[in-house]
Chains A and B, each alone.
Chain A
């Protein structure tokens, strides 16, 4: 059974732009899929539907659960979204509190949530920085902290929106190594072909709010001439 199943998803922004125009998509357990497409082709809008932040027409199931209001709490613990701007994801005064935010929202007692947070921070190699404030971190550290914040909820799926933005090459390498070792199914929204090659076994290409093609990363890159030069 796929962990993400999307059928006929359509969405029009309140301002009137048709952002999604019939998306069908499956993600299998353990699979890592790259999502390519031009700016404004609907990639981020698509991702925001997966945990119910946006609500369009069509059907979405996460681990067999339809994405409807009654299921949102359960769905948000199964699917972890890591946003493009880590500053927006890290909003609590210290790292440990920030990473414990998710588990506390799941109703865990503080000690247990703190233990989970600590484990997640150790998992991303930041176990020594528990009491640091987020704005003292480097971009790479912020990105890993944001991932820890999601891992602490023990999700089955990770969705990363432009994860390599503002990371230096060593930071990108570390992130790729970290993600490769995580067992979750992954969806990578990215322009970074190198990064996608390193991780994804399959790619889809968004065009005007629908998936125009899918195949291996190499096939998609060749077909749409999707390299910087």
Chain B
């Protein structure tokens, strides 16, 4: 999540970036439902989903190599199960598992890469994800950059005094934890100073346009069509 490239992509302009985050979340779910229920034998359907994704990536004017590489990050987790299936003779299912995993990751990535985090979180909240969960994601996202910056500076400081060793790395982790906890209490004090009383207020909700509905319906129909026809 703390990926600066994805953050930058999410603030570009395109027909997909302009869509309401709720429409994109809905479209993603339709796509995931179609992919996950596709029969392992129907390789042509997976090609169809890939084409669909490619069309959307092109429409969103995102760079193919960077996006496709990041979507592969989830593959090692699925690879273990795929290997098991492969060696128990279920080669089609092993291949399909990897394909489904990759397509799903690419779809989810596409949502994050075309939607600024604040809009995404607001949409999740409107869609009744519990406020606490939304806030936890938000704070994680907001301070991931701050804490990773702190970790980087500590690593620089350590390596400019020699090689960073495992033992000192463990100690550094403890210091990082202590600093993060001190920062958390600093943030809380700053919130109290501005009258925080336990309730997080939210500004105006986003507007839902006809184009958003059209996008959602088109995406759902396209996913369903690939699922049924191929």
A residues whose Cβ falls under 8 Å from a Cβ of B: 48, 51, 53, 73, 76-77, 80-81, 83, 85, 87-89, 91-94, 96-97, 100-102, 104-106, 110-111, 113-114, 133-135, 149-150, 153
Chain B residues within 8 Å of A114, by CB: 203-204
| With A110-B204, A113-B201: A76-B195 Cβ-Cβ less than 8 Å | yes
Partner of B193, one of A76, A87, A135: A76
- A48: chain B residues at CB < 8 Å are 189
Q: How far is the CB of A95 from chain B (nearest CB, A)?
A: 11
Q: Which residues of B contact A149 (CB under 8 A)?
A: 194
For residues 171 through 207 of chain B, which have their beta carbon under 8 Å from a beta carbon of chain A?
A: 183, 186-187, 189-197, 199, 201-204
Jot down 12 A-B pairs with beta carbons below 8 A, ordered by A: A53-B189, A83-B189, A83-B193, A85-B183, A88-B186, A91-B142, A91-B187, A93-B118, A104-B201, A110-B202, A153-B194, A153-B195
Known A-B contacts A96-B203, A100-B203, A113-B203; the reply to A77 vs B190 at CB < 8 A is: no
Determine the residue in chain A with the shortest Cβ distance to B8. Answer: A136
The distance in angstroms between the C-alpha atoms of A100 and B196, with both chains bound, is: 12
Given the interface pairs A48-B189, A96-B203, A114-B204, the reply to whether A87 lies near B146 with Cβ below 8 Å is yes
How far does the Cβ of A13 sit from chain B's closest Cβ, in whole Å? 13
Given contacts A88-B187, A96-B203, 14 further A-B contacts (CB under 8 A): A53-B189, A53-B193, A76-B193, A83-B186, A89-B190, A93-B138, A97-B118, A97-B202, A110-B204, A113-B203, A114-B203, A134-B142, A149-B194, A153-B195
Contact of B194 with A150 in the complex, beta carbons under 8 Å: yes
Majority secondary structure, B binding face: helix
Question: Cβ of B117: which chain A residues have Cβ within 8 Å of it?
Answer: 93, 133
Q: What residues on B are CB-neighbors of A89 within 8 Å?
A: 190
Flag if B194 contacts A102 (CB, 8 Å).
Answer: yes
B139 within 8 Å of A (CB atoms): yes
Interface centre among A48, A80, A85, A92, by most chain B C-beta atoms within 10 angstroms, is: A92
Give Cα A53 to B192, complex, Å.
Answer: 8
Inter-chain contact A105/B190, CB cutoff 8 Å: no
A153 contacts across to B, CB distance below 8 A = 194-195
CA distance A87 to B148 in the complex (A): 13
Complex CA distance for A53 and B188, rounded to whole angstroms: 10
The closest CB in chain A to the CB of B118 belongs to: A93
- Give bound CA distance, A80 to B197, whole Å: 16
Contacts of A135 in B (CB 8 A): 142, 145-146
Q: Which residues of B contact A73 (CB under 8 A)?
A: 195, 197
Q: At the interface, yes or no: B34 with Cβ under 8 Å from chain A?
A: no
B57 at the interface (CB under 8 A from A): no
Given the interface pairs A113-B203, A114-B204, the reply to whether A76 lies near B186 with Cβ below 8 Å is no
Write out the residue numbers on chain A whose beta carbons fall within 8 Å of the beta carbon of B190: 81, 83, 88-89, 91
